[in-house]
A and B are shown apart, each in its own frame.
Chain A
Amino acid sequence: MQPVYNRLKGDGRINIDILIAPLGILDNSQAHVKVYDKDEVIFEGDTYNGHINLCVKPKSVYKLVAYFRGQKICRVFYTNSYRFMFNFNTRINRTVIFSLRDYYYNLPIERGELFLWKNR
C-alpha cells in the first residue's frame, strides 16, 4: 500500500487507480468509463490497459459506469483505498469465424458441425 504522503495532493485529494477487468491490452479492447460525484461527471474516457487514474476526495462516495462491447457495469465505491478493481461478466464473448476445409483439396466443407468443449 502506498504511503499517504505520496498520494495526497495539496488540496487533500488523493490519486486512485481503478482496474476494469477482464480487458485486453489493445486499444480496441478497452472500456469507456464515466465517474460520477453525485450527479456530476468528474471523469469520462477510455481505460488504458484496463486502468484509469483519478484524482478524488478521500473517504467519499463515487459511482463508476463502464461500457464494453455492449455490456455495462455500474459500481458505487468509497475512497478509503488507492486501488479498486471492478469486473465485467467474465463470460465476455464475441463472434468468432470457424473455417472447415478438406485436408487434401482445400475444398470448403459443404455441410457439417464443429463442437467446442471448454477445457476446465
Chain B
Amino acid sequence: MEKQIIITNGVGTSDVVNGSYSVTSSVTGYDNTTLNPDSVTIVEGTDQYNFTIAATGTLTLHVTEDGLSTGTPVVGATFIRTDSTGNEYGNAITTDSTGNAVFNNVPFSATAAPTVYFKQTASDGAHEFNAEVQSTNLTASTQTTEIQNPLGALRTINMTDANYENLPVDGTLTLNNN
C-alpha cells in the first residue's frame, strides 16, 4: 500500500507525489467494487480528485396513520435523503397506495452500518407529519421502517356573510398548502 486517505464527510487530504496510482476503498455499507474511478493520475496543477461509490440496499418507508404495519396507509407522503444536518440529496420519493416509498441504493451492513438520514417534506394534506431529520441503520439489504402520519386534528371552519353578521353561507372553501 502506498497511501491511505481517511475520508470524513466526503473529503480527505494527503501529501501525494505526482504519478499514476490504482485506487481501492474501504467504506462500510457500500460496495467497494463500485469505486469510480479505480485509478488516478496525480498531476501538477490539479489538487482535487473526485470519486464515487455505490450502495445496494433498499429502505422502504411505510407510512400509516398509527405507525403500525397494519395501519391505514397514507398516500402521497414525500421523503428525501439528507445528511445529518438536513441538507437534501437526490430525488424525493412518494408513498403509493400501500403507503410505501422506497429509497434504493442505500448502505447496509450487519455491523457498524452507516446511518441513513432522511426527512419527510410533505404528507397528503389531511395528515400531520414530523419534518425533522430522521435516521436509521440498515443491518440487512432490505428494511422497512414504519412512519406515523396521524390524522390532522378536527377543525371547524365557519363561513358567514360579511354584511350580515353571523349569517351562515353555504359553499366550498379550498385550502392549498403553501
Contact = CB atoms under 8 A, between A and B. Distances in A.
A97 B48 contact: yes
B11 interface: yes
Contacts, number: 172
B156 to A, nearest CB: 43
A118 B39 CA distance: 10
Most chain A beta-carbon contacts within 10 A, residue among B1, B10, B84: B10
B52 interface: yes
B54 interface: yes
B7 A112 contact: yes
Give chain B's interface residue range (CB within 8 Å of chain A): 35 or more
Contacts of A118: 2, 17, 19-21
Interface stretch (A3-11, A35-43, A71-79, A103-111): A103-111
A52 B96 CA distance: 72
A104 B10 CA distance: 14
B132 interface: no
A108 B5 CA distance: 15
A119 B52 CA distance: 21
Interface of A: 24, 26, 29, 91-119
17 contacts: A26-B45, A97-B12, A97-B47, A98-B11, A98-B14, A98-B50, A100-B53, A102-B52, A105-B89, A107-B89, A109-B27, A111-B8, A111-B27, A111-B28, A113-B12, A115-B25, A116-B40
